[in-house]
Amino acid sequence: MSVQTLYTAATGMQSLEMKLDVIANNLANVNTVGFKKDRANFKDLFYRNETLPGAQDAQGQETATGIQIGLGSRLSSVQTDFTQGDFQQTGGQLDLAIEGNGFFPVHNLATGETLYTRVGNFSINADGALVLGSASTGRPLEPTITIPDDATGIVISADGDVSVRQPPHNILNPLGTIQLALFQNPEGLLKLGDNLYAETDASNTAVLGTPGQTGIGLIRQNVLEASNVEPVRELIDLITTQRAFELNSQTVQAGDRILELVANLSRL
């Protein structure tokens, strides 16, 4: 029985170690713009059935409960929490945040595919196109929005309309509309790093729409969406996970001591 104790406690330690990895990643990205925190979920493993519930006893009566001994736990999933992060005022004309549901679709020039992000730190490339701010790879916004060279001001409305001011007239000239993407199951998106997601069969195909339409969030200019990680909650979760890991390790030590005692008894 003590041998099984070692294996059962080991599954708990392994699961909790993975949870610590998730918490560490959340804390590491506490200042990452647009980051969405993860949550580790667990499930119990198979049970060893000594007596099945409802089995008949020696007198032929059905038992009310059985004897089922669990064999540990394992990580069942890591879910992403897409709740809204706080807004950080930056004053940048090309800093955008999504208030509500939706993702900015961007074109990955390296692969030709469309990727998605909650980060709105855009810039203007050499061709005048709006691109996601990156020092390594240019990812233009889809559909492409091109800013004229003589633009003196950029105004982006809540419903995604992009307008610029150009001399000699100080009036707003419309350029186009920013589209946002919705997914039936955003938790099914594939995380690629660089604050980017790719659609999968689990997330279903992206549905593009105008900000403010049914189910689609609004765009806020001059702000960025902060990480939704709550450091205090993560630290509390870190402490409880550490204590649970220590308890499982103590179970291993207890099982080892029992095995040692049994081995010593056999020598008597």
pLDDT at 231: 96
Contact, 184 vs 206, CB < 8 A?
no
Other C-beta atoms within 10 Å of 208: how many? 15
pTM of the shown model: 0.87
Separation CA 120–CA 87 (nearest Å): 11
Q: H/E element holding 48? A: strand 47-51
Separation CA 216–CA 39 (nearest Å): 25
136-190 pLDDT, tens digit each = 677 999 999 999 998 889 999 999 999 999 888 778 899 999 999 999 999 999 9
135 band by pLDDT with thresholds 50, 70 and 90: low
Place of tokens 């990895």: 21
Half-sphere exposure of 38 (CA within 13 A, CB side): 20
Residue 15: closest CA among 49, 45, 47, 48 = 45
| pLDDT score of 31 more than 90 | yes
Separation CA 130–CA 241 (nearest Å): 43
Name, in order, each residue with C-beta under 8 angstroms of 147's C-beta and a sequence gap of 6 or more: 124, 128, 129, 130, 154, 164, 175
Residues recorded for the chain: 268
Classify residue 55 by its DSSP letter: -
Half-sphere exposure of 55 (CA within 13 A, CB side): 11
Place of tokens 């001399």: 167
159-171 pLDDT, tens digit each = 999 999 988 877 8
What's the one-letter identity of residue 212? G
The pair of three-digit structure tokens given for residue 266, joined into one six-digit string: 């056999």
Contact, 207 vs 180, CB < 8 A?
no
262 band by pLDDT with thresholds 50, 70 and 90: confident
Burial-class residue 93 by CB neighbours within 10 Å (0-12, 13-18, 19+): middle
What's the one-letter identity of residue 208? L
